[in-house]
Amino acid sequence: MADPTLAVAPPTLLAPAPQPSAAELAKRGKIQATARDFEAQFLGVMLQQMWQGVGDGAGLFGGGPGEAMFKSFLTDAMAKQITKAGGIGVADAVSREMLKMQGLT
C-alpha cells in the first residue's frame, strides 16, 4: 500500500515572468554605473584621509610641486580599482535604493 502522505502534488503551471523592456534594461544599467561611480567617489574621499598622516616632506613621493597632484591621481586610481574589484558594498546599497525609487525592484 502506498502512503498517501508521500503523494506528489501535480505540477502547477506558472506564468513566465515578464521580460524587461530594452528601456528598463538601459535604465538598470545606468543605475548600476551611477552607483559604481558614487562608490568610487566615496572611496576617493576616504582614501584622501589616508594621505593626511603622510608628511609633506621627502617621504613617499620625494616632495616637489607636483606631489599633491600625483597623490590625487593615485587616490582616484586606487578608488576605481577597489570599486572595479567588487568594492565595499556601497554601490550595491545605492543601486538597490535607486531601483526602488524608480519602481524597478
Q: How many CB atoms lie within 10 A of CB 99?
A: 16
* pLDDT reading at 3 higher than 70: no
pTM over 0.85? The answer is: no
* pLDDT reading at 100 higher than 70: yes
Query: If we measure between CA atoms, which residue out of 80, 92, 86 comes closest to residue 47?
Result: 80
Please say whether the dihedral angle defined by the alpha carbons of residues 74, 79, 83 and 85, taken in this order, is positive or negative: positive
Q: Helix 22-52 to helix 90-101 angle, to the nearest 10 degrees?
A: 140
Lowest mean pLDDT across 20-24, 39-43, 81-85, 90-94: 20-24
